[in-house]
Amino acid sequence: MGCRESKYATLSSLSIEFTTFSNIQPEAPFFFFAPKDFGLKVEYNRFLGWDDLFHEFKLGFMSGNDQLLIDTDAGVLRRRIQRVLDPSISEKKAAVEFSIQENYPIGRMRRARFDKRKVIKCGYRPFDERFTYYDDHVMERALYSINRHLMRENLAICVSRQLSRLPYRHVFVTNKVTEMSLVSNKTKEANRVVPLYLYRSEDAAILESVTNEERQPNIKREAMTLVGGILGLRWLEDGQGDLASSIGPESIFFYTYGVLHSPIFRKRYAPFLEIDFPRVPLPGSLDLFRALANLGGELVALHLMESPKLDKHITAFQGDRSREVEKVSYSKETVWIDKILKTGFKGVPEEVWNFHIGGYQVCQKWLKDRKGRTLSEEDITHYHRIVVALKETIRLMAEIDVVIEKHGGWPDAFATSVKKDS
């Protein structure tokens, strides 16, 4: 970290004779050549690892050219792709018209035939679904093997494996084919997509309307058995279960999502969350599991923009000028979209304005990505709902910590895994 000139200056001013060295003992599996604070290693390693919980998880798709293959308007995208793939237009002309770089495989792309069914909605950024042309010939990496499971009714956790920097906040949820930068646009923080269910069919007609065919949980049976045994509940292969006599994969999904939103969890285990997938503690009691699953379920509904709470707006759009996004700024609890601070969203709490999901300051990012665009009524309503979703997220995150503290706090509220310490 730091600029090259500063490093050279430091090296030039030092002498090996007067430099203090520290002994380090690199350990498997990471073998760090720098001191790390892993004082809670034994405690943390008692939790279930990501590989212990899930069968499949892979990176989201990479378009290779977002400007060409992703758009907020399905019609605009459809017409653009139709023209790019039009065989009557030369590759050179198409490349110039759509600013396609020389290293982009336009030749391979133009071997595909346009199919309007492949214009689909995708998870692009937090609270920002867009349209993409989902075709393996056209995209750099479609990652169909994992994204195909999200072409049917499903949920998926999107989570980064490593962080460029703390704090940890790199988790979100999706129910659509999802881009690898949903959580962060830093390459190191690219998100893995972890579906709730795996569909057994690999039907090539991926975009046809289908019913819920046979599917299985993406949660490993060993983990399901372990959680069910601790809680004394019968395991179901589908759904949530009633959490009185039965438990299903959706409840474990919601529980996991709730735990990963605990501020104390994120701070307490920060050194571990920076270098690998999060580990998930086993619940110490049925009451704790129910509470965290319920809170996690509320977070999922908010983040998918499905919660009825989102319609109770706390902000008001003000301004008589154009609704074009010129410059995004914040003052006096208002998010301004113009340079003279006359048009914007009033009533945005500062904690909401500053709230980040992964690498994005959500309230700022959503508007900055629309710079130069005139906001529609639908856009304005959507932004009102984003503000409510973030305010409720902050409230629920605090409540998660209260619930855990009520049951004994970290780590006593949770059960000790039967797995041996790593």
**Distance between first and last Cα of the chain:** 30
- The reported pLDDT for the residue numbered 24 is 63
Write the CB contacts of 285 (distance below 8 Å, at least 6 apart in sequence): 231, 407, 413
Q: Hey, which of 22-26, 175-179, 320-324 has the most confident mean pLDDT?
A: 175-179
321 lies in some domain: yes
Give φ, ψ of 264 to 5 degrees.
-70, -40
> Mean pLDDT throughout 122-139?
95
Counting the structural domains of the chain, the total is: 1
Q: Tell me the three state secondary structure of residue 151.
A: helix
358 lies in some domain: yes
pLDDT bucket at 20, cuts 50 / 70 / 90: low
> Is-above-0.85 flag for pTM?
yes
- Tens-digit pLDDT profile for residues 257-300: 999 999 999 999 999 999 999 999 999 999 999 999 999 999 99
Domain that holds residue 315: 311-395
376 lies in some domain: yes
- Tens-digit pLDDT profile for residues 341-389: 999 999 999 999 999 999 999 999 999 999 999 999 999 999 999 999 9
pLDDT bucket at 28, cuts 50 / 70 / 90: low
d(CA 158, CA 173): 6
Q: 147-184: buried (b, 16+ CB within 10 Å) or exposed (e) per residue?
A: bbbbbbebbbbbbbbebeeeebbbbbbbbbbbbbbbbb
73 lies in some domain: no
Question: Within 10 A of 59 (CB to CB), how many other CB atoms are there?
Answer: 18
351 lies in some domain: yes
Which pairs count as long-range contacts for 212-217, CB under 8 Å and 24+ apart, including other chains?
212/152, 212/153, 213/152, 215/152, 217/249
102 lies in some domain: no
Contact 147, 61 (CB under 8 A): yes
d(CA 111, CA 95): 15
421 lies in some domain: no
Alpha-carbon dihedral 339, 343, 346, 350, rounded to 10 degrees: -20
366 lies in some domain: yes
Amino acid at 208: E
